Chain A
Amino acid sequence: MNVEETRAYAQTANAEIDLGLRAMSPALESQRAFAESAQEVDRITGQIGVTLGQAMGFLATAMAVAEHIETTSKQIDGLLEQLPTSEVVEISSPNQMAGGIAGKIFEQVAAIYTRTSLQEETTAALRGIFVELKHPPDVNSTWVKLHHVFSRIYELIGKL
Chain B
Amino acid sequence: MTSTHPEVLDEIAQLNERRGLDVMDLQIQLERAAFFLGRVVVLAVEGNKQIQICKAQAEAGEAGLQASLPHIDASIAAQRMAGFDSEASRSGRKAYRRTMHARRELDDHIAAYAGLLQHLNTARSFEYKVDGARSLLERLFNEEGEGDVMGRLGPLQRTSEAATDRTVAYIERRDKESEAEMAAQGKLQEADQILVPPDADPANPMPVLRKMIEVLTATSKGLAEVPDGIAELQALVSTIGADIEAFNNLLAHWQGAAPMPAALSGVQGNLAELAASLAVPVGPEAFEEHVAKVTMGKAVFETVAEMTTQSQDLRTSIKQRLHRAMDGLKAYVRRGGGR
Contacts and interface: CB of A to CB of B under 8 A. Distances in A.
Given A13-B84, A65-B25, A72-B22, A150 B34 contact: yes
Interface of B: 1, 4-5, 8-9, 11-12, 15-16, 18-20, 22-27, 29-48, 50-51, 53-54, 57-58, 60-65, 67-69, 71-72, 74-76, 78-79, 81-84, 88, 92, 95, 99, 123-130, 133-134, 136-137, 140-141, 148-150, 153-154, 156-157, 160-161, 163-164, 167-168, 171, 174-175, 178
Contacts of A56: 33
Contact of A98 (B26, B126, B130, B168): B26
A20 B71 contact: yes
Contacts of B133: 34, 37-38, 41-42
A70 B141 CA distance: 58
Interface string A17-42: 11111011111101111110110111
Interface in A42-64: 42, 44-45, 47-48, 51-52, 54-56, 58-59, 61-62
A156 B42 contact: yes
A56 B156 CA distance: 54
A88 to B, nearest CB: 11
A51 B26 contact: no
Contacts of A72: 15, 18-19, 22
Given A23-B68, A31-B140, A58 B33 contact: yes
B14 to A, nearest CB: 10
Nearest to A61: B29
Contacts of A40: 50
A69 B37 contact: no
A65 B134 CA distance: 42
Given A98-B26, A119-B123, 18 more contacts: A5-B81, A11-B164, A21-B157, A23-B64, A24-B67, A28-B61, A28-B64, A31-B57, A38-B133, A52-B36, A76-B12, A84-B1, A118-B47, A118-B125, A118-B127, A119-B125, A142-B27, A156-B42
Q: Which of the listed residues B40, B63, B99 has the most CB atoms from chain A within 10 Å of its own CB?
A: B40
A109 B37 contact: yes
Contacts of A41: 47, 50-51, 54, 126, 129-130, 133
Nearest to B81: A9
Contact of B19 (A45, A61, A76, A84): A76
Given A3-B175, A6-B167, A160-B41, A37 B54 contact: yes
B138 to A, nearest CB: 11
A94 B23 CA distance: 8
A105 to B, nearest CB: 7
27 contacts: A1-B81, A7-B82, A13-B164, A17-B156, A17-B160, A18-B157, A20-B71, A21-B153, A26-B64, A27-B67, A34-B58, A41-B51, A58-B33, A59-B33, A66-B26, A72-B19, A76-B19, A87-B5, A105-B30, A118-B126, A121-B124, A121-B125, A142-B24, A146-B27, A149-B34, A153-B41, A156-B42
Contacts of A10: 78-79, 82, 84, 88, 92, 163-164, 167-168, 171
B65 A24 contact: yes
